[in-house]
Amino acid sequence: MYTATHLAGRATALLTVQAPEDIEFLIKECEVLTGLAGRTFVIGGADRLAYRVYWHPIALKVERLDVASQVLSTRHLLPIEFLRHSLMEALAVGQLFTPPVRRLG
């Protein structure tokens, strides 16, 4: 599963994503609790790259975000292609995080 962690210079605790199968669960959890599609993931490190990922049965939509959460680029990936994405590389070395979900309303 995933565990809580705190990254330096960040006031918000983030959850560490532990396994590839957690990504689908985390996205769906966020969608159910907030009513909004997708979930944000952060690659830990100096750059702290942020992505919003949307889960679809056939493919995933991956948006690269800037520091203001504005979309810089969008890619649509098949599940096999997503396994080669930098998010999965970060996961493999324990550097993939996601903010905890806060319910709306």
Sheet holding 49-55, edge to edge: 2-5, 14-17, 96-98, 39-43, 49-55, 60-65, 71-77
pLDDT at residue 4 above 60?
A: no
Alpha carbon dihedral 31, 34, 39, 43, in 10-degree steps, equals: -140
If you ran DSSP here, which 8-state letter would residue 79 be given?
H
pLDDT at residue 5 above 50?
A: no
User: What pLDDT is attached to residue 3?
Assistant: 45
Name the band, by pLDDT with cuts 50, 70 and 90, for residue 104.
low
What's the mean pLDDT in 47-64? 93
Q: Would you kindly state where each structural domain of the chain is located, as residue ranges?
A: 20-98
CA pair distance 61, 69, nearest whole angstrom = 16
pTM for this structure?
0.85
User: What pLDDT is attached to residue 102?
Assistant: 79
What's the mean pLDDT in 69-90? 95
Is the separation of the CB atoms in 79 and 59 below 8 Å? yes
What's the mean pLDDT in 1-25? 70
User: What pLDDT is attached to residue 70?
Assistant: 96
CA pair distance 57, 51, nearest whole angstrom = 19
